[in-house]
Amino acid sequence: MAAILTHYLIAEKYLEKFKSFDEEDMIAFFVGAVAADTPNSLGKGFDEREASHFGSSPSMSLLEKGKFNLDGDVLDYNSFIEKYKNQLDDPFIEGYLLHLYTDKKWFKEIITELLNNHANEINEEAKNVYDLSFKDAIMWYTKNLYQTYNTHDSLFRPYINLEHIKKMSDYDVQKCPVDIINKYDLKRMLDDLKAKCEVIDTVDVSSKDEMLISLDIMLSFIDACAIEMHDSYFNSYK
């Protein structure tokens, strides 16, 4: 899944390009855009992560199938749309939908390409990402990608609006309309995000040249998610 700050920056980009909210709705939109990752950020189990993303996490899906198949409906945002079809004008719901769409695109495009590019490092026998064993691929992915996430966080610092992050931590979690999200955990996650962003510019970025996913790719991904979600999805369901 894409990192929390990636989701936040996509939400910022979406509002910059397409939407105008008052401050209260803007903050609700930002919180909605990161809320699905509440279980992830707090180290919860796969069941909670799957539930908050309205589908199966790739790791669990891969474990069952024994191979990568990232073109499938790993994240079923259509079930989310069906459940909240009468609330799609709610800024929190809009942000949440943006999150689900982003993660689906992340798996299908970024991670599939990443695994293809590094297939020989994962398994010398591999000719195609879909032939890789779950064990070989997921061990490599897990080991290397989180360091890239940490480096991205540092490089994202110039793009982060710290005032928005602080206001997100003040969001009244009792207003969260997605019932699968634990409100106490959501508050913890938002407070942790604020604390992280307040010191993020002190993180060492010496490994930025060794990132698996470059900053340029990430910025292009952020822009594309905002545009595609507006053109193909929000316009279809609003």
Q: What is the mean pLDDT of residues 154-170?
A: 91
pLDDT, tens digit, 9 for 90 and up, residues 87-105:
989 999 999 999 988 988 8
Instruction: Give DSSP secondary structure letters for 29-71.
Output: HHHHHHHTTHHHHTT--HHHHHHHTTB--HHHHHHHHSS--TT
Q: Which residues contact 17 (CB under 8 A, 6 or more apart)?
A: 226, 227, 230
**Res. 211 pLDDT band, cuts 50 70 90:** low
**The predicted structure's pLDDT at residue 81:** 87
- Band (69; pLDDT cuts 50, 70, 90): very low
Q: Is 75 helix (H, G, I), strand (E, B) or coil?
A: strand
